[in-house]
Structure formats: C-alpha cells, structure tokens
Amino acid sequence: MKENRTETNRRGLLLCVSGPSGTGKGTVIRRILASNPKMVHSISVTTRPPRQGEQNGVDYHFRSRGEFLSMLDHGDILEHDLYCDHYYGTPKSNIDALLAAGTDVLLDITIPGSLSVMNSYPEAVTIFLMPPSFGELRRRLAGRGTEDPEAMRQRLEKAREEISKAELFTYCIINDDIAAAADKIMAIAQAEHCRYERQKGLEKNILAR
C-alpha cells in the first residue's frame, strides 16, 4: 500500500481491549501481533502469580505487591485496578512516544482500566471482547483448572457484572472464533484511522497540491 504524507504523519491509535476473564483476550491479542508487525502490545504489570506457561515480560510483567505499589507512587502506572485481590496496571513508560511515532498500541486491560484510560486519552478506541454465552465462559474457566472453586465463583460473579457494562465501550466483539475476532479488531484499527476527526485538515493539504 502506498503511503501518502497525511498517513505517514498520522498518530497511532490507543486500542483498549477489555473483557471478562476467560474471554480469550490474550489469545486474540497474540494473534493480532503475530500478523501485524506495526502494532505493539503494551504489556501489563500484575501482582497475580503466573499461570502455567505464562512468561514474565511476555504475558505480563509479574511484580510483587511492594514493587507494584512503588511503581504507583512514582507515577509509572497509567491506570490500575484491583481485580480478584490482585493488582493489574498499565505501565506509562513509552505509550505516548509510540503514539506520537504513529504506532498503534494494544492494551489488554481491565474494564475499569479502559474507563480510566478514556478519561486521560479521550481519543482511545475501546473494544469489549465478549464470550459467546455465559455458559461457554463457565466451561472455559472450568477447563483452565487453575483455580479453586471459590476463586472460580468470584470470577464468574465478576464476569456477570462486567458483561453488563458492555454499553460503555465503543465496540463490542463476540469471541466465538479467534481468527475472526482478531480480524475485527484489525478492521476497527483500519477504520478508526480513516475517521475524519483523526485526519483533520487533510483537505487543505490535498487542495494545496
């Protein structure tokens, strides 16, 4: 695809992907990153212990509670949330620089996290990833087998409450097929770049040339 001056100078998108635990956010995001080298994932910081197969610095930055609170104190966290007794946060670090350089940044973020980002970045794109049904979500979480029944009950209760907040997001995608959900998020990014409000004044450049 040819790049024109307007597109080359375009600002990156801040894409917030939220959804209840068990919806497959991580898998969908990995799929997008694998096929889209221009998109970057801002890795979250969490105090939750790693699950089987999760790697520090790849899936999350795993930190102790003390380390997390110290990052908070130093203003190094864009937004954070306490979720099922563990902290989750977005490191501020290089997000602004990436956006200014035109890189699209994907955040795997809690629902209150997305709402909080909307305040600091009103131009952020918020996407809610949904399970196909509540029953399917229950099966997926049970299939993980990583949690005791009480933690599982808490997650399901939380999920029900979260799903009812879908209307606060601009986009809503049902994840019944990983490739299709990833495609939709990439289409959203492409479409958002085409919004007039993200290209204000382009008509003046065109008329002048």
Residues that bind a second copy (CB under 8 A): 1-2, 4, 6-7, 127-128, 130-136, 160, 163-164, 166-167, 169-174, 176-177, 180, 183-184, 186-188, 190-192, 194-196, 199-200, 202-203, 206-209
Q: How many CA atoms lie within 13 A of 179 on its CB side?
A: 0
Smaller CB distance to a second copy: residue 90 or 175?
175
Q: How far is the CB of 104 from a second copy (least distance, A)?
A: 13
CA-CA distance, 176 to 108, in Å (whole number)? 18
Q: How far is the CB of 127 from a second copy (least distance, A)?
A: 8
Smaller CB distance to a second copy: residue 7 or 54?
7
Token pair recorded at residue 162 = 């979260």
Smaller CB distance to a second copy: residue 78 or 182?
182
CA-CA distance, 24 to 203, in Å (whole number)? 41
CA-CA distance, 95 to 86, in Å (whole number)? 23
Contacts made by residues 141-148, CB under 8 angstroms, sequence distance 24+: 141/21, 141/22, 144/22, 144/51, 146/51, 146/52
Distances, alpha carbon 108 to alpha carbons 2, 4, 11, 140, 205, in Å: 30, 31, 20, 19, 36
Smaller CB distance to a second copy: residue 30 or 165?
165
Q: By three-state DSSP, how is residue 128 classified?
A: strand
Q: How far is the CB of 166 from a second copy (least distance, A)?
A: 4
Smaller CB distance to a second copy: residue 101 or 180?
180
Q: How far is the CB of 53 from a second copy (least distance, A)?
A: 26
Q: How far is the CB of 94 from a second copy (least distance, A)?
A: 27
